[in-house]
Structure 1
Amino acid sequence: MTTPAASNHSDHYPPRADLEAAFQAVRRAKVPQVPDIVLSLRDELRRPDPDLIQAADLIAQDPAMTGQVLKTINSPLFASRTKISSIRQAVTLLGLRRLTNLVTAEAFSRLVGEREGGARLILDFIQEQARMAASVAALAPELTPDEAYLFGLMQGVGSLIFADLINDYGNEWTLQALTAPQDLMDYERRALGTDHVTVGFLLAGTWRLPEPVALAIYHQHTFEPPQGFDAHRRALIAVARLARILLALRRGIEDNPVLLDQRDWGLNELAVTPETWERCVARLLTDERGT
């Protein structure tokens, strides 16, 4: 299992002991194995001159993957201006990085799709969060919807794994995930010696996600991200927080102090006015009710 490479900013990364505890927890869990197609596309992205046609043909070898990715690209969620009818056309119009994000997201969803009980509840929330993050990404010029969508899925993967390891985890998650994430992490550490953000960071390395994504997963609940975080990482966190605010509003949670602080931080980070945010809330919540 690989992890994102270390940097000079040691405070950005989980301590070694925390990573070791996360690794031990993951070894006991039903962790989805990374499909070869995802690894191959990530390897292609690392090349100085990626072969777009070869990458497109690799995806096209999986008809089910091809169909779902094209369906996602052409959905209202991604607001494509042109109907895209083939993977080769998609890679030409979107680029390999964006297409790889969508394939990764679809592969992840496919692997974790069969869940029951508390895990099913968590998975439904994660998928809803991903859709909302993709929509909120319109407020962040630094991000594309596919980046926000993939981040929305992957930031909750640790909680999904803990549902298989901790009895009644679903109940604790339901009570605390939205309004008291730090309390949820304390509960996780008492139970397993690790938390969902550290496990998420570890698995981001396994899935070869870009380092900014892995670090944003790890610091998703840190109110003020570490100094040195670039605009891209901060935007990922801001969009994810605003997506969670929208999910709370859908559940009738409006005046929670933790969520209000996160909302204000996210709006300030993205330089979004309260008026623009209110219009966004009205539009997205109406759209969600109509789907």
Structure 2
Amino acid sequence: MTTGACAPTSTDNRLYPSRPALEAAFDVVKKAKIPPIPDIVLALKKELDRPDPNMQKASELIGQDIAITGKLLKTINSPAFGLSAKVGSVQQAVSIMGLRRLANMVTAEAIDRMLADQGGEAKVVWDSILEEARVMVEIARLSRGVTPDEAYLFGMMHDVGCLVFTGLFESYSTEFILHRHTDTEELIDFEMKHLGVDHPTVSFLLAGNWKLPDQMALAIYLHHRVECAEVDDPKVRALVALANLAHRLDAFSEGSLDMSEICSEEEAIWRELKIADDDWVRLCESVAQGGSAA
């Protein structure tokens, strides 16, 4: 693992973590003994980076991992992804979704397999991350700014640094539960005081080393730091908006936020995501009634 995981794609280097911050994150990740990303993800990334990716070869790479293939097809065929016909094979999934979108989902499934075996307090943190990821997928179905596969991968990774911290500091999960919806800044202050680095920086480092797209890695780092309008890159803006909206909707579902705060004050976010007015009204009504986010 290297500290220079993601080369800046923006001309504004101030949007990226400093080298000392990345070095601190690197030290934390080493202590946590995070497993390396599975070979299937690296092989897919290599194929995608070719000038003319071979879709048949990529399908065969995915098909070699039976466990990931099974979970992948189950996810693709879930109501959240809204496909009109059931997908029965990796080849069919590639033809319907495209290789890059499928690679996002394979990466997410691989990460889930690495991190899902959590017990005790760590499970509480991981379950919270997965719940926000689920909300992001539901929002993405209404959005023209982020696809469900991007939302799925981004949702799993945006706060993965919190999961890393649960194994390094005994009382971290308590702080996470207390502040994740009500005062993120206080949670980050706690992280800096006790671990010398915050979870967005650790998540950014892992995103780069696990070969996530550079725009997604940057959005992971920025999602607690900036408003979406402060970022030039439209994809990064959309992902930051997605994280902010999902966080608020999840906070509402936990009783930590009033629905009027979401529906009256978050116009910039849902406009950024290009959610139609009618869809936005249905989204607010559904969440207010305690239903699905879409």
TM-score normalised by L of structure 1: 0.92
Aligned partner of 2:208: which letter? G
Native 8 Å contact 1:129 1:243 kept in 2: yes
Partner SS for 2:174: helix
Change (3 A) 1:58 1:227: same
| Aligned residue number for residue 286 of structure 2 | 283
Native 8 Å contact 2:241 2:269 kept in 1: yes
Shift of 1:214: 0.5
**For structure 1, which segment, 259-268 or 78-87, has the greater mean C-alpha deviation from structure 2 after superposition?**
259-268
2:23 to 20, 25, 30: 20
Count of aligned pairs between the two proteins: 288
| Aligned residue number for residue 6 of structure 2 | 4
| Aligned residue number for residue 83 of structure 2 | 80
Listed one character per residue, the Cα deviations across residues 206-265 of structure 1 (whole Å, up to 9, x for unaligned) are 111111001000000123257453111111111122111221121112239997898344
Give the 5 Å matches for 1:25-44. Answer: 25-44=28-47
Listed one character per residue, the Cα deviations across residues 52-103 of structure 1 (whole Å, up to 9, x for unaligned) are 1001011111111111100100110101112110001111111111111111
Shift of 1:117: 2.0
Q: Does 1:157 align with 2:154?
A: no
2:130 to 117, 120, 127: 127
TM-score normalised by L of structure 2: 0.91
Native 8 Å contact 1:179 1:259 kept in 2: no
Partner SS for 1:11: helix
Q: Does 1:184 align with 2:187?
A: yes
Shift of 1:111: 0.8
Distance in 2 of aligned mates of 1:75 and 1:271:
24
Change (3 A) 1:260 1:219: farther
Native 8 Å contact 2:121 2:173 kept in 1: yes
| Aligned residue number for residue 248 of structure 2 | 245
Aligned partner of 1:107: which letter? A
Change (3 A) 1:19 1:216: same
Listed one character per residue, the Cα deviations across residues 155-180 of structure 1 (whole Å, up to 9, x for unaligned) are 01100000001111000000111221
Q: Does 1:54 align with 2:57?
A: yes
Partner SS for 2:292: helix
Aligned partner of 1:192: which letter? L
The unaligned stretches of length 5 or more in structure 2 are none
Partner SS for 1:124: helix
What is the root-mean-square deviation of aligned Cα atoms in Å? 2.2
Partner SS for 1:139: coil
Shift of 1:271: 5.0
Shift of 1:203: 0.5
Change (3 A) 1:17 1:255: same
Distance in 2 of aligned mates of 1:53 and 1:273:
37
